[in-house]
């Protein structure tokens, strides 16, 4: 079995966690996805442009961030088996504040917004997939808001480690610090207390 075939099978297994994936839907997905490799540090999406693709990470990590007062502020991270795009830009087809970059060598499947719309319109199970898979993301966002508002720096870091337990050790400390809203020195102190 070729490497791309193995990657495609992993991609399909992700969908099958949520829906029954018919052969017809598999064929349509294969027609509509492309596969890309991004180098470490490569810009995947520029905030000045409309986000037209959603990326499913097969291997690697993407970071979504914005720039405030010349400083990059990490908003969230996505690792293997997760989708990433700039949500408002992708859905509303307008620019917004978010950039996406690869923080390590990353392989991803790409799906154009028009192809996603076609899949939603022609395969009702895709609507179900979207609803069920988005539930996890909304839960994560609510937890993040609660953590930012009501917890100490140490508790924020512990929550971060739980949330990103598969990838946090691969994320640079400066990016983690901006995600948590604390200085890198504070983060280093918290980590040394463990």
pLDDT tens by residue, 156-193: 999 899 889 999 999 999 999 999 999 999 999 999 88
H or E segment and range at residue 131: helix 124-150
State yes or no: pLDDT of 43 exceeds 60: yes
pLDDT per residue as tens digits for the range 84-94:
999 899 989 99
With respect to residue 115, please indicate whether it lies within any of the assigned structural domains: yes
pTM over 0.85: yes
With respect to residue 41, please indicate whether it lies within any of the assigned structural domains: yes
- Cα four-point dihedral sign 14, 59, 183, 100: negative
- Mean pLDDT of all residues in 56-66: 96
Q: Point out which residues pair with 83 in neighbouring strands.
A: 56
With respect to residue 176, please indicate whether it lies within any of the assigned structural domains: no
User: Pick the residue with more confidence: 193 or 101?
Assistant: 101
Q: Point out which residues pair with 77 in neighbouring strands.
A: 63
Q: Domain with 10 in it: what CATH number?
A: 2.60.120.10
What average pLDDT does the structure give for the chain? 91
Counted domains in the chain: 1
With respect to residue 149, please indicate whether it lies within any of the assigned structural domains: no
pLDDT at 110: 97
With respect to residue 76, please indicate whether it lies within any of the assigned structural domains: yes
With respect to residue 38, please indicate whether it lies within any of the assigned structural domains: yes
CA dist 10 → 97, 105, 185 (Å): 32, 18, 39
* Confidence band for 194, pLDDT divided at 50, 70 and 90: low
Residues near 17 by Cβ (< 8 Å), separated by ≥ 6? none
C-alpha to C-alpha distance for 79 and 56, rounded to whole angstroms = 9
H or E segment and range at residue 66: strand 62-68
- Cα four-point dihedral sign 111, 163, 45, 101: negative
Q: Which domain holds residue 28?
A: 3-123
With respect to residue 180, please indicate whether it lies within any of the assigned structural domains: no
C-alpha to C-alpha distance for 83 and 104, rounded to whole angstroms = 16
With respect to residue 66, please indicate whether it lies within any of the assigned structural domains: yes
Range in 109-123, 125-139, 171-185 the model is least confident about? 125-139
């Amino acid at each position: 079995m070729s490497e791309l075939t193995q990657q495609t099978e992993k991609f399909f297994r992700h969908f099958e966690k949520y829906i029954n994936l018919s052969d017809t839907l598999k064929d349509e997905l294969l027609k509509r996805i492309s596969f890309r490799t991004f180098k470490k540090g490569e810009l995947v999406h520029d905030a000045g442009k409309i986000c037209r693709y959603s990326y499913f990470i097969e291997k690697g990590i993407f970071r979504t961030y914005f720039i405030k007062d010349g400083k990059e502020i990490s908003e969230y991270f996505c690792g293997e088996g997760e989708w990433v795009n700039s949500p408002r830009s992708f859905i509303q087809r307008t620019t917004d504040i978010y950039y996406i970059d690869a923080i390590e060598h990353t392989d991803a499947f790409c799906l154009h917004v028009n192809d996603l719309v076609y899949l939603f319109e022609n395969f009702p199970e895709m609507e179900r997939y979207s609803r069920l898979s988005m539930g996890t993301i909304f839960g994560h966002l609510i937890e993040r808001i609660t953590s930012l508002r009501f917890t100490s720096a140490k508790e924020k870091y512990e929550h971060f480690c739980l949330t990103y337990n598969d990838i946090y050790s691969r994320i640079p400390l400066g990016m983690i610090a901006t995600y948590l809203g604390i200085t890198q020195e504070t983060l280093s102190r918290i980590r040394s207390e463990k």
